[in-house]
């Protein structure tokens, strides 16, 4: 049964104390131990299981392994992760099904038939109806698996469910609750009318607490980790990484890179709903609950490079012909392929493998390449794909800063692609402001740990992860001005007659990758 948390007490971390961070992503789970300033002491990376018990086992084993490597356990544990993926739990806290994933298309028809005015819905929730939203999954369960919905005592997003399994206490964070499509971002509570569409009420969802309020003490047995250490639900992965990178107030901007890419722009106020819908951006609660963060996503950023690597250097497995498209490949060949590629490449790539979300929603948009000549090789194509993602993100950044009326002084960049030198060189060259790179092994994982270190205290006291300024290259910056203009001309041109009628961002329901 779900227990109530005890009295809130500020965690005091020893000078040499360690903090644990957990980042549950779509593809991988990252677990690490960090010092009080975010320095990584031990880290483990595993594939993300599809079932909750397996996920709990993976995280528990990883925490134990990190503690063994470090020679001691953490003084607090912070959990972040993908938001929309979740699981129905019965009255004893047992999962009633495998986890229902954000990219599962079930619920698309239900979302389309929601029957709510798009502008009013955005004003209430900060987003549009799509299959990603848990509300759409609940509606699907009501129609196709009513026995599961009837038996569901609680719905828990993945970070919430993991924290529950570790502590026996179920709580969530506003940045996770906001992704349900049943949360009023203006009042900071669940919306009973939206929940009623699925036959639910607010008491079947986790109570909402702040990012530094401990969910409870560790109750699960994990070798090397002391019972009772506080466990914190830090929040949505992009929000946690951005906060740790120091992006906390209007004028700050973050670029979170991964399979998908998200531009995070804190705003002084929520956008006009019509503007938010037209741009295809969500208006999320800030991590500390004091403001709004506009989030614009590129669904296929790292995925674009994966796809090209699949085409240019197919895997050599037992049956490569039946490998799944988009599956991450070995990157050992990438440095050699990119070495010596002249920049700019002269190739313009529109990086839309599965449609475009922000800043001009178009679910029918697809990859387009222009400017390829006989003198170009595999490395040029890969570099051009990198250029295309960077140019698109520049476009998003320009649009989001314009609508928020902010003038950022720098762009904080974090995520897997910071390890690719050419990517960061292009990113710095096309950015309208100086780029600072967070070199942490995993900014989200480290951020979750640092937030846990302030359990019972204040988010304002969370240390900022070190950022490394990218060197300025005025000649390369000037060289990318014409390619950016060519990119904008092509990206803003109508792709097909059908695409021109599909500008409602709600139509991106099954195309938008996790943000």
Average pLDDT, the chain: 91
Give mean pLDDT, residues 445-459.
96
CA distance 398 to 406: 10
Looking at residue 497, its pLDDT comes to 42
Burial 14-42 (b: 16+ CB within 10 A, else e): eeebbbbbbbbbbebbbbbbbbbebebbb
| Torsions phi, psi for 153 (to 5 deg) | -85, -35
Does the pLDDT at position 506 exceed 50? no
To 5 degrees, how large is the angle CA 411–CA 414–CA 420? 105
CA distance 446 to 465: 8
Q: Provide the pLDDT confidence category of residue 503 given band limits of 50, 70 and 90.
A: very low
Does the pLDDT at position 87 exceed 90? yes
Looking at residue 329, its pLDDT comes to 58
Does the pLDDT at position 198 exceed 50? yes
Give mean pLDDT, residues 206-219.
95
Q: Which region among 415-429, 436-450, 490-504 has the lowest average model confidence (pLDDT)? A: 490-504
**Are 506 and 118 a contacting pair, CB within 8 Å?**
yes
Domain locations in the chain? 19-238, 248-313+336-441+466-492
To 5 degrees, how large is the angle CA 350–CA 122–CA 299? 25
Please, which residues bridge with residue 349 across strands? Answer: 369
| CA-based nearest residue to 296, from 251, 326, 266 | 266
First-to-last alpha carbon distance for the chain, in angstroms, is 32
**Are 400 and 387 a contacting pair, CB within 8 Å?**
no
Q: Provide the pLDDT confidence category of residue 10 given band limits of 50, 70 and 90.
A: confident
**Are 181 and 132 a contacting pair, CB within 8 Å?**
no
Q: What is the 3-state secondary structure (H, E, C) of 77-96?
A: EEEEECCCCEEEECCCCCEC
CA distance 216 to 218: 7
Q: Do domains 19-238 and 248-313+336-441+466-492 have the same CATH topology?
A: yes
**Are 20 and 77 a contacting pair, CB within 8 Å?**
yes
The class that CATH gives domain 248-313+336-441+466-492 is alpha beta
CA distance 387 to 337: 15
Dihedral sign computed on CA atoms, order 270, 276, 279, 281: positive
Task: Please write the tens of the pLDDT for every residue from 259-284.
Answer: 889 999 999 999 999 999 999 999 99
Does the pLDDT at position 72 exceed 50? yes
The pTM is what? Answer: 0.90
Q: What interhelical angle do 158-167 and 52-70 show, nearest 10?
A: 70
- What does DSSP assign to residue 72? S
Does the pLDDT at position 496 exceed 60? no
Task: Please write the tens of the pLDDT for every residue from 28-44.
Answer: 899 999 999 999 999 99
Give the three-class secondary structure for 340: coil
CA distance 298 to 281: 11
Domain 19-238 belongs in CATH node 1.10.510.10:
no
Q: Which region among 319-323, 446-450, 471-475 has the lowest average model confidence (pLDDT)? A: 319-323
Looking at residue 512, its pLDDT comes to 38
Place of tokens 């937030």: 451
SS3 content of the chain, % helix, strand, coil (to 5): 35, 20, 45
CA distance 24 to 158: 8
Does the pLDDT at position 214 exceed 90? yes
> The tokens of 403 are what?
């609508």
CA distance 265 to 327: 30
> The tokens of 76 are what?
């607090």
What is 356-388 written as a DSSP string?
A: B-SSS-BTT---EEE---TT--HHHHHHHHHHH
Q: Provide the pLDDT confidence category of residue 511 given band limits of 50, 70 and 90.
A: very low
**Are 4 and 164 a contacting pair, CB within 8 Å?**
no
């Amino acid at each position: 049964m779900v227990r109530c948390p005890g009295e809130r007490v500020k965690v005091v971390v020893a000078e040499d104390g360690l903090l644990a961070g957990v980042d549950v992503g779509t593809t991988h789970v990252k677990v690490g131990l960090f010092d009080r300033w975010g320095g990584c002491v031990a880290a483990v990376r595993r594939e993300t299981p599809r079932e909750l018990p397996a996920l709990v086992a993976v995280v528990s084993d990883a925490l134990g392994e990190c503690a063994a490597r470090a020679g001691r356990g953490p003084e607090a544990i912070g959990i972040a992760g993908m938001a929309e993926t979740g699981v129905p739990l019965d009255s004893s806290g047992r999962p009633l099904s495998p986890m229902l994933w954000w990219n599962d298309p079930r619920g698309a028809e239900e979302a389309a038939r929601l029957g709510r005015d798009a502008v009013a819905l955005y004003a209430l929730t900060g987003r549009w109806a799509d299959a990603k939203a848990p509300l759409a999954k609940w509606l699907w369960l009501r129609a196709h698996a009513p026995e599961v919905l009837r038996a569901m005592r609680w719905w828990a997003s993945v970070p919430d469910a993991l924290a529950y399994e570790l502590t026996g206490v179920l709580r969530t964070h506003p940045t996770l609750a906001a992704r349900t499509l049943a949360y009023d971002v203006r009042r900071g509570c669940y919306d009973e009318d939206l929940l009623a569409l699925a036959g639910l009420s607010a008491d079947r969802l986790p109570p909402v607490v702040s990012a530094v309020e401990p969910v409870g003490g560790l109750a699960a047995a994990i070798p090397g980790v002391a019972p009772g250490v506080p466990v914190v639900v830090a929040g949505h992965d992009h929000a946690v990484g951005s906060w740790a990178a120091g992006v906390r107030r209007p004028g700050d901007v973050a670029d979170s890179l991964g399979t998908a890419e998200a531009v995070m722009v804190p705003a002084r106020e929520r956008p006009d709903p019509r503007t938010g819908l037209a741009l295809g951006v969500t208006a999320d609660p800030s991590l500390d609950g004091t403001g709004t963060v506009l989030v614009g996503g590129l669904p296929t950023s790292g995925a674009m490079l994966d796809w090209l690597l699949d085409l240019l250097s197919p895997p050599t497995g037992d049956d490569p012909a039946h490998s799944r498209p988009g599956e991450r490949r070995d990157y050992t060949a990438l440095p050699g392929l990119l070495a010596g590629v002249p920049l700019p490449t002269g190739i313009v790539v529109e990086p839309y493998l599965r449609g475009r979300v922000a800043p001009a929603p178009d679910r029918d948009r697809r990859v387009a390449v222009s400017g390829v000549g006989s003198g170009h090789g595999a490395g040029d194509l890969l570099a051009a794909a990198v250029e295309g993602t960077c140019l698109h993100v520049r476009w998003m950044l320009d649009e989001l800063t314009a609508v928020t009326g902010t003038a950022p002084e720098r762009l904080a960049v974090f995520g897997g692609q910071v390890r690719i030198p050419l990517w960061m060189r292009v990113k710095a060259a096309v950015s309208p402001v100086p780029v600072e790179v967070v070199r942490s092994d995993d900014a989200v994982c480290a951020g979750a740990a640092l937030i846990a270190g302030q359990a019972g205290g204040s988010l304002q006291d969370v240390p900022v992860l070190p950022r490394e300024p990218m060197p300025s290259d005025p000649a390369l910056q000037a060289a990318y001005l014409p390619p950016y203009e060519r990119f904008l001309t092509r990206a803003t041109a109508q792709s097909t007659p059908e695409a021109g009628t599909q500008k409602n961002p709600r139509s991106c329901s099954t195309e938008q990758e996790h943000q």
